[in-house]
Amino acid sequence: MTVATRKQREREEMRQLILEASRSIFLEKGYHLTSIRNIAERIDYSPGTIYLYFKEKDEIFHALHEEGFRRLIAQMEPLQFVSDPFERLKAMGRIYMDFARNNKDFYDLMFIMQAPMNVEAPECWEMGDTALEHLKNVLRDCQAAGRFKGQDIEFLSFYVWSSMHGMCALYCRDRCQAYPDMDADLLMTRGFEIFVQNLEKL
């Protein structure tokens, strides 16, 4: 092993170390309450060192953004064993919703947080595109099976995604409190049921 390759490996390990620390603190305290000094302290390095591995705080954010999509896609794995397209779509919705519930902060990071998305980096959205492509494929399969007649896949997928996202976003940002007598999880579950009822008739 040449020195150069070892150096590169060490560099990658350091990036991972920073990412792991960042993730745990991000998810503990949220984006804005996490500081570079916090992260550095957690891994026993000085603040300046972080900047040798990441250009800025947002670059750490984007790395975690990707990680989130990797996790979501991993959760979708079992879907390939669901043969009926519409059942697959429903299962997909449940997985998406459970992901939001069990990884509130990752979900927030991926779909809600205000972060400079203006970055023209195409690889920044690679994982996100993959996930969206999954949805579109399932919808196409449903269409092949006779559902959603005459619907454009682009618009339909946006509608399906945003319906799910609406509930998850209200959940993540505590707007379910608008129903003080109602458990947020129950709201989500029943909301999803109505949504499925809807899709069945579309």
Partner DNA sequence: TGGAAAAATGAACAGTGTTCATTTTCTTTG
Partner DNA sequence: CAAAGAAAATGAACACTGTTCATTTTTCCA
Cβ distance to DNA smaller for residue 58 or 141: 58
Pick out residues in 169-188 that bind a second copy (CB under 8 A). Answer: 169-170, 173-179, 182, 187
Q: What residues have CB less than 8 Å from 187, skipping those under 6 apart?
A: 167, 171, 176, 179
CB of 59: closest distance to DNA in angstroms? 8
| Distance from C-alpha of 25 to C-alpha of 74, rounded to nearest angstrom | 23
The gap from C-alpha 136 to its chain's centroid, in whole angstroms, comes to: 17
Question: Considering only residues 12, 24, 28, 46, which one is a binding residue for DNA as defined by CB under 7 A?
Answer: 46
| Distance from C-alpha of 187 to C-alpha of 126, rounded to nearest angstrom | 32
Contact 142, 85 (CB under 8 A): yes
The entry of a second copy, DNA, none near residue 75 (CB within 5 to 8 angstroms by kind) is none
Binding segment for DNA among 55-63, 92-100, 131-139, 149-157 (CB under 7 A)? 55-63
The entry of DNA, a second copy, none near residue 130 (CB within 5 to 8 angstroms by kind) is none
The entry of a second copy, DNA, none near residue 29 (CB within 5 to 8 angstroms by kind) is none
End-to-end Cα, the chain, rounded Å: 60
Cβ distance to DNA smaller for residue 43 or 169: 43
Q: How many residues bind a second copy (CB under 8 A)?
A: 47
The gap from C-alpha 163 to its chain's centroid, in whole angstroms, comes to: 15
Tell me the torsion sign for CA atoms 158, 161, 164, 166: negative
CB of 11: closest distance to a second copy in angstroms? 31
Question: Which residues lie near DNA (CB under 7 A)?
Answer: 3, 6-7, 10-11, 14, 34-38, 44-49, 51-52, 56-58
